[in-house]
Structure 1
Amino acid sequence: MNTPRTNLAAQVTDPATSAVRHLYLHVPFCPSICPYCDFHVLTRRAGQVEAYLKRLREEAAEIARTYRVDLQTVYLGGGTPSFLREAEMAEVVDIVRSAFGWGAQENTLEVNPGTVSPERARQWRELGFDRASVGVQSLHDPTLKFLGRQHDARSAREAVEQLLAQEFRVSGDLITAVAGQPLDGDVRGLVELGVEHVSAYTLTIESGTPFARRGVTVREEDEREGFSRTAQLLGELGFERYEISNYARSGGHSRHNLAYWTNQFYLGLGPGAAGHYPAPPGREVAGQRVLSERRTNPHLNGWLAGQPGESDLITPEEYATDALFMGLRLTRGVDLRDLSRRSGLDVAARYAGVIEMQTRRGALEFDGRALRATEAGQWVLNDVIRAFLEA
């Protein structure tokens, strides 16, 4: 049963509650590396997946001994999780189920269209996945070729149809602001396939990627056109924008991603995975209590060797700014009374100057309880967040 949007606020986790209800599991292996990708990904080599699965089981057992877990959502991301062979995928699911159980509300698998077949879709469904996030990116073959994708438009359509035939809830990813891209056709074509959710991201050139080394650039006018035109089209087609880059039919929002945007706790398993964990009771840093801990695992070789990752202990003020950073991406914004209760700070008073300045600027609106980014503010949200951090 889909959770009504009006009940989403009730899912927010209080920092004083030790249960962790969400799990992100990173599968770093890909058939090929896209030239715009800056995630921790690699093509598989002999013995790597076997070593990965062995270490993954050990890590899951370690975390299960440390935290109380009551899973509501599971998300396998990457990389290309759907690139795993059938027995490997079954083992990943067994590792999660053995350590933590399975998500009671939603279990998502990231899918590359080139890895889908009716048989594989059926296996994924039988293993317990009920939602698929499909990396369509475009339904225009020249655009896909420019992006370095290994699938074509036909195989993307077939992948979505095969997943829908197995009763998956399907989300489709689109990349916008690509020169020459027929954006209207991409958006309309994806919706016509029957997806319930669309994630539309502007092409971003990250340093160190093949695109950056080749000198590929994205024009600001293409960014703005892609940003606004996507929102207009999806609105006309019955999709609600509930986050800057995410749109859904009624009840089709990503419950797992809402955990990130509402600053809830989540486990991070696998190389390069990030997690947000409850802090041990009574923990302090420089005389301030610690509400939570953010940890990021090392990349594959370090992770396989059991090396510790990066760790940040989160104080009340950091917790509040994290919640604002993520929550202002949501169209419903951030409930400052609720955030004050969770952080122990009077957030509206603490940031009154920033709120007043950004409201006058037209970037934010505040009704005394909910703080939201305006349409203009969504475009300059990084600047808005920087003002809170500098305060």
Structure 2
Amino acid sequence: MTDAPTVPTPPVVRHLYVHVPFCPTICPYCDFHVLQRRAGVVECYLAKLREDARALAAAYPVDLQTVYLGGGTPSFLRDAELADLVDAVRTHLGWGALENTLEVNPGTVSAARATHWRALGFDRASVGVQSLHDPTLKFLGRPHDAQAARDAVTTLLSGGFRVSGDLITAVEGQPLDEDVRGLVELGVEHVSAYTLTIEPGTPFARRGVQVSEDAERLGFERTEALLTGLGFERYEISNYARPGAHSRHNRAYWTNQHYLGLGPGAAGHYPVTGTPGVLGERRTNAHLHEWLAGTDADVDVVTPEEFVTDALFMGLRLRDGVDLADLTTRSGVDVAARYAPVIEQHVARGTLTLDGTRLRATPQGWWVLNQVIADFLNDEPTQG
């Protein structure tokens, strides 16, 4: 009698992203899946979220290190609603052992709410400051003023949160130096600085708002000069931190780890075992009304070579770059040999450096990273 074949055990998933699509207002630059709340919709959302959390727990071994509630505006949920969401996650999937982040709109913060959020188990707040200049906030369509942003950060810090502040750069008329210094002076340990991007279909696109490459580059370079001068490390293209204050959850994305996506529009990177030529699946959930109706997620199978290009695309955003030997072990592809011509060409151009098995993008490479990755995808360097 022969033994039955052993079915491989899927890798343990240690990260969870939860999408909360509701916002008090929709910013004119935003192209995320967001909408304003309507009567009864949040209740249906919470019930479906609990059902999906149960299904994920049954399908995958889970031992969470990080949980991240993004949006939308998770802090826009009423206290009882957020408590219900957290209970659904805790009941079926557990809670992050290392870091649990809540995205926060400044206008939703009070001392009492900060205390409630800490009691629910959140220890890190990512605050959508965007600017500390009232005319810039008005242009961006933000539902708060600069003083509300300052008050939100100080309230959260007093409430025991680790605080990250978001900034948008390359806005015409923005006093960038004042924004950066003002945010740091409030006491944040982490800053995410993003260039204003005009996405198709947004109100800004319809209004013909444009951002020049010169403005983008100035924001890109000036933000780094200011923040590194103030003791922050640029550890990823758009992210800066005090020592030890990196985002543990986002690092899971940048190092191509598996993570669960819960909620409408949420994306996840799921392990797959026992299928030759497949290392995982990337799934993106349907938008709210289709998701509530039970529409299946869009699924893309991750082959070994797709795993490699995904890992390069995300990993080269990090100052640490990518360990090609580790990536070879994880993917089964000899990365250094497979992409030697592309690597050699970009090292010669000064956009990449290779130190042993560690591949990194240079500052110049960060600026043109999309083209660098396109060359890996095409498997041959562009001319120039």
Instruction: Give the TM interval when normalised to the shorter protein.
Output: over 0.9
Q: How does 1:342-353 map to 2 (within 5 A)?
A: 342-353=330-341
Letter paired with 1:188: R
Counterpart secondary structure, 2:115: helix
| TM-superposition CA deviations, 1:71-104 (whole Å, max 9, x none) | 0000000000000000000001000000111100
1:312 corresponds to which of 286, 300, 320: 300
What is the CA–CA distance in structure 2 between the aligned matches of 1:234 and 1:106, rounded to whole Å? 24
Q: How does 1:53-68 map to 2 (within 5 A)?
A: 53-68=46-61
| TM-superposition CA deviations, 1:199-245 (whole Å, max 9, x none) | 00000000000000000000111101000000000000000000000
Q: State the 1:17 CA deviation.
A: 5.6
Q: In the alignment, is residue 294 of structure 1 matched against residue 286 of structure 2?
A: no
Q: In the alignment, is residue 115 of structure 1 matched against residue 108 of structure 2?
A: yes
Q: In the alignment, is residue 283 of structure 1 matched against residue 275 of structure 2?
A: yes
Q: Which residue of 2 aligns with 1:329?
A: 317
Q: State the 1:367 CA deviation.
A: 1.2
Q: In the alignment, is residue 212 of structure 1 matched against residue 205 of structure 2?
A: yes
Letter paired with 2:168: I
2:39 corresponds to which of 23, 42, 46: 46
| TM-superposition CA deviations, 1:136-157 (whole Å, max 9, x none) | 0000000000000010000000
Q: How does 1:255-274 map to 2 (within 5 A)?
A: 255-274=248-267
Q: Which residue of 2 aligns with 1:128?
A: 121
What is the CA–CA distance in structure 2 between the aligned matches of 1:211 and 1:55, rounded to whole Å? 33
What is the CA–CA distance in structure 1 between the aligned matches of 2:51 and 2:203, rounded to whole Å? 34
Q: How does 1:1-391 map to 2 (within 5 A)?
A: 18-279=11-272, 281-284=273-276, 289-391=277-379
Query: Which runs of no fewer than 5 residues in structure 1 stay unpaired?
Result: 1-14
TM-score (norm 2): 0.96
8 Å CA contact 2:167, 2:192 repeated in 1: yes
What is the CA–CA distance in structure 2 between the aligned matches of 1:142 and 1:55, rounded to whole Å? 40
8 Å CA contact 2:265, 2:288 repeated in 1: yes
Counterpart secondary structure, 1:308: coil
| TM-superposition CA deviations, 1:151-189 (whole Å, max 9, x none) | 000000000000001110000000000011000000000
8 Å CA contact 2:321, 2:358 repeated in 1: yes
What is the CA–CA distance in structure 1 between the aligned matches of 2:89 and 2:297, rounded to whole Å? 21
The alignment's C-alpha RMSD in Å is: 0.9
Q: State the 1:16 CA deviation.
A: 7.9
Counterpart secondary structure, 1:158: helix
Q: State the 1:309 CA deviation.
A: 1.2
Query: Which runs of no fewer than 5 residues in structure 2 stay unpaired?
Result: 1-7, 380-384
Letter paired with 1:389: L
Q: State the 1:368 CA deviation.
A: 2.4
8 Å CA contact 2:10, 2:61 repeated in 1: no
What is the CA–CA distance in structure 1 between the aligned matches of 2:210 and 2:336, rounded to whole Å? 39
Q: State the 1:306 CA deviation.
A: 1.1
8 Å CA contact 2:280, 2:301 repeated in 1: yes
Letter paired with 2:161: F
What is the CA–CA distance in structure 1 between the aligned matches of 2:9 and 2:271, rounded to whole Å? 8
What is the CA–CA distance in structure 2 between the aligned matches of 1:65 and 1:333, rounded to whole Å? 35
Q: State the 1:311 CA deviation.
A: 0.3
Counterpart secondary structure, 1:339: helix
Question: Across the two proteins, how many residue pairs are aligned to each other?
Answer: 372
Question: For the structure 1 residues 293 and 283, does the alpha-carbon distance in structure 2 shift closer, same or farther, using more than 3 Å as the test?
Answer: same
Query: Identity over the aligned pairs, expressed in percent?
Result: 73
Counterpart secondary structure, 1:134: strand
Q: State the 1:128 CA deviation.
A: 0.2
Q: Which residue of 2 aligns with 1:5?
A: none
| TM-superposition CA deviations, 1:42-93 (whole Å, max 9, x none) | 0000000000001000000011000000000000000000000000000010
